[in-house]
A = this chain, B = another copy of it.
Amino acid sequence: MNKFLITGFSGFVSKHFVAYLEKNKIPAAVLGVDYSDTEIEKDNYKYVGMNFKKLNLFEKESLESVINEFQPDYILHLASFSSVASSWQDPVFSFQNNTNIFLNLVDAVRSQKINTRVLSVGSSEEYGDISPDDVPLKEDHQLYPVSPYAVARVSQELISKVYASGFKLNIIMTRSFNHVGPGQKDMFVISSFAKQLCQIKLNGGKGNIVAGDVSIIRDFLDVRDVVDAYYKLLVNGKVGEVYNVCSGIGITLREAIKIMCEILDIDVEIRVDKKLIRPADNNIIIGSNEKIKNELKWKPEHTIRESLTDVINYWMKELTK
């Protein structure tokens, strides 16, 4: 039975990762860590043994002792302060809570001499300032990070590379594109739209949805395909390598809204709130998933319509609780 340490355990992705282990009957001992208390439903699982520990990744000694005690075979590093907008408000906080916490983690692995494989989760934001001709973005594309958050993620990747090559740590890296799926907080765009649309449905099916620029094209990957990729990368990814985790398909936000309206059988008007339009945002971001497909026999299993249906169902359930 393999041991998985998961950071950022209170988040949306970790829940799906644990569900993935269970669904695929992978016997696993999971230790989740997060800086905030988290309720876990230990008894829902047959194949996965779960434990949780409250841990601040800034406290290096506590981190080292947790790692030393647990001796993880795999570390899935999901902890991140992942809001681009907030990184403009407090760039120091964003940098510390992305780059420095990751550095503490890998340095704890180094100093404690733990033989573990680490998945460093990064972001498509790292590509930054791209031209529409550059899509689909491949991993060897040069990085031009344009936000404090993106800089923090590129720095994390550089640290990963030097710990993999210089200290021989088994680190595999991702650049993960937008996620979609049930349970995602409504600070993320699709989840925000879905929640608004469900509220309209519950209020009679007519209304307005507030949005930023709905003409932008993004690459959304279902969170269940994300965790499938993370598991395969943890187990079989090539050390020191970076992999895009994405659907390879672009969709405008307008199309996503249209599909959700069809699912809900409602008719809405889109009201643009200029405050929601990010300055200097890329019009189009699509990733190439050829590398992970070829090397790891991974492929997305969920269509965008399936994902959006599940997101809608999630919000309907939440809003009628």
A-side residues, CB < 8 A to B, are 60, 88, 91-92, 95-96, 99-100, 103-104, 107, 110, 142, 145-148, 150-151, 154-155, 158-159, 161-163, 165-166
> CA A161 – CA B150 in complex, angstroms?
12
The answer to whether A158 and B151 touch across the interface, beta carbons within 8 angstroms, is: yes
A162 near B146 with CB under 8 A, answer: yes
Task: Evaluate contact between B147 and A162: CB separation under 8 angstroms.
Answer: yes
Which residues of B sit under 8 angstroms from A150, Cβ to Cβ?
Answer: 162
> Pick the contact of A148 from B95, B100, B148, B162 — CB < 8 Å?
B162
A92 touches B103 (CB 8 A): yes
CB pair B166–A145 under 8 Å, yes or no, is no
Assembly CA distance A162 to B151 (angstroms): 8
Cα A165 to Cα B88 in complex, Å, equals 12
Q: A145-B158, A147-B166, A158-B151 are in contact. Are A103 and B95 (CB under 8 A)?
A: yes
- Cβ of A158: which chain B residues have Cβ within 8 Å of it? 145, 151, 154-155
- Report the copy number of this chain in the oligomer: 2
Further 20 A-B residue pairs, CB within 8 A, beyond A151-B161, A151-B162: A60-B92, A91-B107, A91-B110, A92-B103, A92-B104, A92-B107, A96-B100, A99-B99, A142-B142, A145-B158, A146-B162, A146-B165, A146-B166, A147-B162, A147-B166, A148-B159, A151-B155, A151-B159, A154-B155, A154-B158
Q: How far is the CA of A161 from the CA of B110 in the complex (A)?
A: 31
Q: How far is the CA of A166 from the CA of B88 in the complex (A)?
A: 8
Q: How far is the CA of A151 from the CA of B99 in the complex (A)?
A: 12
Q: Jot down 25 A-B pairs with beta carbons below 8 A, ordered by A.
A: A60-B92, A91-B103, A91-B107, A91-B110, A91-B159, A91-B162, A91-B163, A92-B107, A95-B100, A95-B159, A96-B100, A99-B99, A99-B155, A100-B100, A145-B158, A145-B162, A146-B162, A146-B165, A148-B159, A148-B166, A150-B162, A151-B155, A151-B158, A151-B161, A155-B158
